[in-house]
Structure 1
Amino acid sequence: MDKKKQRSLVQWLKGQSKLGKTWLVTAIGLAFLSGLFLIAQAALLANILHELIIEKADKSDIWLSFVGLAIIVCLRAICSWGKEQAGYRAGEAVRLHIRHLVLDKLQTLGPATIQGKPAGTWASLVLEQVEEMQDFFARYLPQMAIAGLIPLVILVVVFPLNWAAGLIFLLTAPLVPFFMALVGMGAADANRRNFKALQRLSGHFYDRLRGLATIRLFDQADAESQHLKVASEDFRKRTMEVLRLAFLSSAVLEFFTSLSIAITAVYFGFSYIGELNFGHYGLGISLFIGVFVLVLAPEFYQPLRDLGTYYHAKAQAIGAAESIVNFLDAQPEHQASGEAKIASDTVEITATDLEVLSPDGIILAGPLTFKIKSGERVALVGQSGAGKTSLINAVLGFLPYRGSLVINGIELKEADLSHWRKQVSWVGQNPQLFHGSVKDNICLSAPLATEEQIQRVAHAAHANEFIQRLDQGYSHPVGDRSSGLSVGQAQRIAVARALLQDGRFWLLDEPTASLDASSERLVMESLDKATKDTTTLLVSHRIDQLGTSDNILVMSKGKLVQQGTFDALKHEGLFSEMIQAVDRSDLDA
């Protein structure tokens, strides 16, 4: 990564920190206050030793100094605790904001873009990489200010007492950040490579985990294990590279800090035995001054050492930010959204020279010209890859388009997509149920639905009959990917969910593709009743389900090759060939 790119990422990170500004200022203020307490603590400790050793004072005479020392130690502990809490809150506020930015971008791009990468990659982006920024905001940014303030205050206190000790501090202090930067120059690149390796590993592992049954069925477990081993080994090497740089940086900082403190101690040692006679403004060096400065010496370098430690957090944040910023700054094609509200009484769709585009601007389907009238039942058919899914995504506002796509007199680009989608009742071929109860999944479209409404739609979808047989009824737990339910049961819950939404436009995408004959009959019966008086677009390979359709759109290779009624199309063109193919398969069976 070039320096210009690193600087831009750092500026972006600092720009996000404004959201946690209050907490950051609090953390810096508490750290500065702790530094002042530290100077007072060193002065009290030096005074106690001077009184006891040089002045031969009795311990009872200086009891106030002991009490003051104990109080200051407690106050420093409170300040340190408060600093950590404030830093964490700052990081938390910024992380939540960044995560919202990523999720909002994903929502804007839609499922068509999300499906372009493995789910594990998105999980890594939203979770791990955002979390890796915590220490940058919670520790590194406050430490940047602390590393300048505390040493400066110590110098102001030390120089009037002994200019030689102050000069040692002043000359050796720049060595720490200099070598910190020198060692850490490659840390950001190492972290960036580490995060890319993590993304690959996460995506690979999650996808293989989801398809574990298929992998075992085709006896590819050993081959996939080897692929996973290669990805894991790459991640291990990247991680060890990051750790190596971190340990090297810490070792360098400790070396130069120890060397600087040793020089200060040697100066005072030789001054006490009379070998060195400078730096004390002609007043001599007392035990108080020597102890006071030597106690402050490690604390003078400590903020700089901490900054070096947290410099690794900066490198981590830069590595994590690169993917996030690239994603947020990317401008793929996506469906524009306006503010116009599509009327919700009836739905009429008119497409004129419609070209559906991918996020990369590639034409997926079109040009298409058709009309779906209000209350009409339209079937969309075609072989796999004909462009049916692309057209559906465009109608739902998930893919960009050129040409015209008008719904109830409003161009979809100018419509409020969120408002439009609330009017769509959708049932797909692979129902997505979420972790929760049966009731939770039915209520996904209407969280405030009453028990009576839930039972009504469940009964209409023929789901009530099997729900009542479950151990916990509507409270029966449902796992991710519909685990615990059969495909037919999951599909009937999806139908109940769509019924509860009560949309004015029904989109049925192969709703019976994975069902047995009995479940198919029940699902289609409930869907026929639900869509009786609404505009419906049915995507299906089942020719026997198309007889009741008012109009049929036939697609092939992204083009609309036929449209008309079942009787008008059954004797010619691609639709006739599809019917003949079904008849031949029935004869073979």
Structure 2
Amino acid sequence: MDKTVEKKLTKWLKLQKKACGFYLNLSVFFGVLTGLSLMCQAWLIATVLQGIIIDELPKSDFIDHFWALLGLTVVRGILAFARERASFHAGAKLRVEMRAAVLDKLALLGPAFIKGKPAGSWASIVLEQVEDLQDFYARYLPQVVLAGFIPLIILVAVFPINWAAGLILFATAPLIPMFMILVGMGAADANRKNFSALARLSGHFMDRLKGLSTLKLFNQGEKEAKVIRKASEEFRERTMAVLRMAFLSSAVLEFFAAVSIAVMAVYFGFSYLHHLDFGHYGTPISLFTGLFVLILAPEFYQPLRDMGTHYHAKAQAIGAAEELMALLDHPTEQFGGDKKLTGDIDITAKDLSVYSLDGSLLLGPVSFKISANEHVAIVGPSGAGKTSLLNALLGFLPYKGELSIAGTELKELSLADWRKQLAWLGQEPQLFHGTLRDNIAMGRNLSDNEILSLLEKAQILDFVEQQPLGLSHAIQEQTAGLSVGQAQRIALARALAQQASLFILDEPTASLDSLSEQAVQATLTAAMQGHSCIMVTHRLENLSAMDNILVIDKGALVQQGCYQQLIAQEGTFKQMLDEASSVSEFDLEPVEQANNQPEGDK
């Protein structure tokens, strides 16, 4: 990974630590107290052994020291537990806020942005990548502070009693972070590649799982299994590369810490044998000095070793942060302001051009006007830009030109306030794992009688009454157990609960059989009385009741007018209507021929 990118990601990660609250500082505080208590224990042990072995004092003189040692052991245990809890809460608080920020951002960017990646990739970002930030905030960041603070305290304690020991500690301390950095240079890049492989695998696997029946139908199961096997093997190799980095860094740090402690032990050993005579300020080196320094020596390197051990958490977090930062820093200034909507909803577009999130022109420039309580259909060939226009109206795609709602530019409106006025129904109903009651109420305070009334309007009440649990009937994942028509009518009941001023309908009957289509269409006709409506549809024969029809072709508004006006003039609308009629006649011809055959020939 480029060093500039790595520094940018590290800086971004550190800026997020405010989400940890006071738990991060609390973890550092408990860590410092643990280090101080350990120094006190080293002093007590060295004092007791000096007194008993060298000074030959009775053991009874050190009863208080033994009790103090016992008390400090308990205190250290409590402090270690408190530090772990504070660290965990710091990471947990960060993860909660990060997931909320990701989901809020995705809600703001909308489906036009989300569809740019498979659902499995988003699941990887929201779950695995956010989860892998835990150790960076819970362990690495506190340890960075402790790695600088605790060795400094120990140096302050060691230098006054033996400057040579202090110099050895001071000189060997940089070896650990230096080799930690050298070993860990490629760890962030390895983690980034690992997350990319995981996102690809998750997205690929989820997409294939959704289309499993289709794959079996076309005998492609074995082929896709090989593709998934290859992607899994790639992920395994990248995961093992990350683990190799982690184990190598730990081994290197342990080696240099052991060598440094050995140098310290050799110095004191030769000093006690009178082969070395320096570092003690002219006073003979006592057993207390040697024991005190040698007990503290491992603890001097321990914070540095712990920081090295947790360095892979930093590399892991940097690898996870790349996509998180790109998502959370994605520009959203084009998506609404803070003005409230006032007055009847009328929509005016003048020289309106709609763009994709990467800046490509999708539609326009177009100009039109939709009056309050007017019913408007948007038609055109596939890919003409109909859905792009709806996404712009919903605030999910950027645009240029004028698009005003009740006299206020959409960019200046509060999107939350604007969307409260809308009821949206698409061709692919999105029901959630939960009860029927939950799916229709969607957090609104609706009574069971109100929900039943909505179900009756959507002509799905009979189905609900047939269920043993009624409104508590569980909706399974991917609406399993429901037909498309049933799911669509449940989604319609949810839309009716919105009490919206404007209905936005995107092919609401495209996936329905003729009976379900008639039921949904009749409900929509009744529900939209006295409300505005914008409907995208390919069913041109049902548009005679619409007040206005906008015909879009190749990103341009080519025709507009009522049904009678459009069929009376040559153009895209009449051409599409003729094509639809010829397809219907072609479909009906075999049935009519069969009906006209003698009974014995059928």
| Fold conserved between structures, TM > 0.5 | yes
Give 1:422's aligned residue: 420
Preserved contact between residue 334 and residue 400 of structure 1 (Cα < 8 Å): no
Matched with 1:150 is 150
1:544-588 Cα shifts (integer Å, max 9, x gaps): 321222222222222222222222222432222222223223322
Q: What corresponds to 2:429 in structure 1? A: 431
TM-score by length of 2: 0.93
Aligned match of 1:263 = 263
CA deviation vs aligned residue, 1:20-77 (integer Å, no higher than 9, x gap): 3522221111111111110111122223333333344454443322211111011111
Look up the match of 2:98: 98
Counterpart-to-counterpart distance in 2, 1:21 and 1:574? 61
Task: Say if 1:402 and 1:163 are closer, same or farther in 2 by CA, change over 3 A.
Answer: closer
Of 501, 512, 528 in structure 1, the residue corresponding to residue 498 of structure 2 is 501
Look up the match of 1:375.
Answer: 373
CA distance in 2 between partners of 1:44 and 1:491 (Å): 76
Contact 1:504/1:534 (<8 A) preserved: yes
Deviation (angstroms), 1:374? 2.0
Corresponding residue for residue 135 of structure 1: 135
RMSD of Structure 2 on Structure 1 (CA): 1.9
1:161 positional shift: 2.2
Higher mean C-alpha deviation, range 530-539 or range 275-284: 275-284
**Corresponding position of 1:391:** 389
Match of 1:582 in 2: 580
1:566 aligns with 2:569: no
The size of the alignment, in residue pairs, is 586
Deviation per residue, 1:283-306 (Å, 9 max, x gap): 323222222222111111111111
Matches of 2:362 and 2:272 in 1, distance apart? 86
What CA deviation, in whole Å up to 9, does each residue of 1:490-537 have, x standing for no partner?
111111111111111111221111122222222112111101221112
Which consecutive unaligned segments of at least 5 residues does structure 1 have?
none
1:347 matched to 2:345: yes
Secondary structure class of the residue paired with 1:468: helix
Residue equivalent to 2:598: none
Q: Give the one of 398, 401, 405 matched to 1:400.
A: 398
Q: Secondary structure at the match of 1:106?
A: helix
Aligned to 1:550: 547
Provide runs of 4+ in structure 1 moved above 6 Å.
Answer: none
Q: Deviations over 1:243-300 (max 9, x none)?
A: 1111111111111111111122222222333333333333323222222222111111
- Inter-partner Cα distance in structure 2 for 1:172 and 1:355: 65
Q: Is the 8 A contact 2:335 2:396 kept in 1?
A: no
Q: Distance in 2 between matches of 1:59 and 1:485?
A: 82
- Given residue 348 of structure 1, which amino acid in structure 2 is its aligned partner? D
Could you say what secondary structure the match of 2:466 adopts?
coil
**Residue range with higher mean Cα deviation, 478-487 or 33-42:** 478-487
Q: Compare 502-511 and 41-50 and name the one that shifted more.
A: 41-50
Query: 1:541 corresponds to which residue?
Result: 538
Which runs of structure 2 are paired with 1:103-142 in the superposition (5 Å)? 103-142=103-142
State the shift of 1:442 in Å.
0.5
Distance 1:69 1:334 in 2: 61
Q: Is the 8 A contact 1:351 1:370 kept in 2?
A: yes
Aligned CA distance change for structure 1 residues 549 and 21 (closer, same or farther; 3 Å):
closer
* 1:476 and 2:508 correspond: no
Q: Structure 2 counterpart of 1:339, which letter?
A: D
What's the secondary structure of 1:201's corresponding residue? helix
Q: C-alpha separation between the residues in 2 aligned to 1:51 and 1:433?
A: 77
What is the 5 A alignment of 1:196-235? 196-235=196-235
- Whether the 8 Å CA contact 1:443–1:500 is kept in 2: the answer is yes
TM-score, with normalisation over the residues of structure 1?
A: 0.95
- Tell me, yes or no, if the aligned pair for 1:129 and 1:195 is still in contact at 8 Å: yes
8 Å contact from structure 2 (residues 348, 404) kept in 1: yes
- Cα displacement (A) at 1:350: 2.1
Alpha-carbon distance in structure 2 between the residues aligned to 1:285 and 1:339: 74
DSSP-derived class of the 2:367 partner: strand
Distance 2:377 2:20 in 1: 53
Q: Which residue of 2 aligns with 1:441?
A: 439
Question: Could you tell me how far 1:78 is from its partner in structure 2?
Answer: 1.1
Shift of 1:99: 3.2
Does the 8 Å contact 1:555/1:562 carry over to 2? yes
- Between the aligned partners of 1:294 and 1:352, the Cα distance in structure 2 is 81
Separation in 1, partners of 2:326, 2:576: 45
Quote the residue 1:336 is aligned against.
335
Counterpart-to-counterpart distance in 2, 1:398 and 1:157: 62
Question: In the aligned structure 2, how far is the partner of 1:178 from the partner of 1:293?
Answer: 24
For the Cα contact (< 8 Å) 1:108–1:334, is it kept in 2? no
- Local SS of the residue matching 2:401: strand
1:54 is matched with: 54
For 2:208 and 2:387, locate their aligned partners in 1 and report how far apart those are by CA, in whole Å.
Answer: 25
Aligned to 2:509: 512
Task: Return the letter of the residue paired with 1:340.
Answer: K
Secondary structure, aligned partner of 1:501:
coil
Instruction: Say if 1:109 and 1:335, in contact at 8 Å, map to a contact too.
Output: no
| 8 Å Cα contact 1:334-1:359 kept in structure 2 | no
Aligned equivalents of 2:365, 2:219: Cα separation in 1: 44
Sort the Cα spacing of 1:107 and 1:586 in 2 relative to 1 into closer, same or farther, 3 A: closer
Look up the match of 2:278.
278
The answer to whether the 8 A contact 2:541-2:577 is kept is no
* 1:289-368 matched pairs, under 5 angstroms: 289-331=289-331, 335-343=334-342, 346-368=344-366
- Tell me, yes or no, if structure 1 residue 466 matches structure 2 residue 463: yes
Deviation at 1:422, TM superposition (A): 0.9
Contact 1:37 1:72 in 2 (8 A): yes
- In structure 2, stretches of 5+ residues that fail to align are 589-602
What's the % identity of the aligned pairs?
Answer: 54
2:597 corresponds to which residue? none
When residues 89 and 565 of structure 1 are mapped into structure 2, their CA distance, relative to the original with a 3 A threshold, is: same
1:316 partner letter: Q
Q: What are the equivalent positions in structure 2 for 1:77-96 lying under 5 Å apart? A: 77-96=77-96
Give 3-state SS (helix, strand or coil) of 1:371's partner.
strand
Rounded to whole Å, the distance in 2 between the matches of 1:19 and 1:163 is: 43
- Distance (Å, rounded) in 2 between the aligned partners of 1:339 and 1:176: 53
